Amino acid sequence: MLKIAAKIVVATLIASMSLITIGVYDEASPGKLEPRDYIVKYSNVYGVDPCLALAISRLETGNWKSDAFKNLNNFGGMQISGQCLKFQTREEGAKEFIENLYYNYIQIGLTSPETIANKYCPDNSEQWQNAVNNIMLEEKGGRE
């Protein structure tokens, strides 16, 4: 393994999907993946567009800087009765976020920011979908 600026790059094979994901581990917290790695991992497992999931997660957590993300492992701003959900680990939070996206949106045909917006963010759907689309464009490196 090569050490690059206190980070160790590790290749992980997701056997069930035969996909390779590059995980970046931080030496300060060994074994802890970066947020995007968890999202890509579970997006691949559930067949969710990783760009879409990354964009929603980045928007809902302020690029993974919100208190809900840092303190509650909440990858998607998920709430019940106005209270943010708490997850024991980042792994659990990412899995629950992707499962929520898959079962409550993707499986019923809501597969784009335009179709998801009214259900995910009904009070501000147009601004939400535009923001998600912009982040998706960033994730794709500026390509449509």
Mean pLDDT in the chain? 81
Asked, for residue 12, whether it belongs to a domain, the answer is no
Q: Does residue 17 lie within any of the structural domains?
A: no
For residue 43, the enclosing domain spans 33-139
pLDDT at 31: 56
Per the CB < 8 A criterion, the answer to whether 112 and 52 are in contact is: yes
Q: Can you give the pLDDT at residue 12?
A: 29
Count CB neighbours of 17 within 10 A: 12
Chain position carrying tokens 């939400």: 128
Does the residue 123 lie in any domain?
yes
In angstroms, the Cα distances linking 8 to 5, 32, 63 are 8, 11, 22
Does residue 4 register a pLDDT over 50? no
Please tell me the total count of domains within the chain: 1
Question: Is the confidence at residue 56, as pLDDT, over 70?
Answer: yes
pLDDT at 95 over 70: yes
19 within a domain of the structure (yes/no): no
Is pLDDT of 21 > 50? no
Q: Is residue 14 part of a domain?
A: no
21 part of a folded domain = no
| pLDDT at residue 10 tops 50 | no
- The average pLDDT across 9-31 equals 35
Q: What pLDDT was estimated at residue 13?
A: 26
CATH number at residue 69: 1.10.530.10
Q: Is the pLDDT of residue 133 over 90?
A: yes
Beta pairing, strands 3-4 & 7-14? antiparallel
Could you tell me if residue 7 is inside a domain?
A: no
What average pLDDT does range 131-137 have in this prediction?
Answer: 96
Q: What is the pTM of this model?
A: 0.77
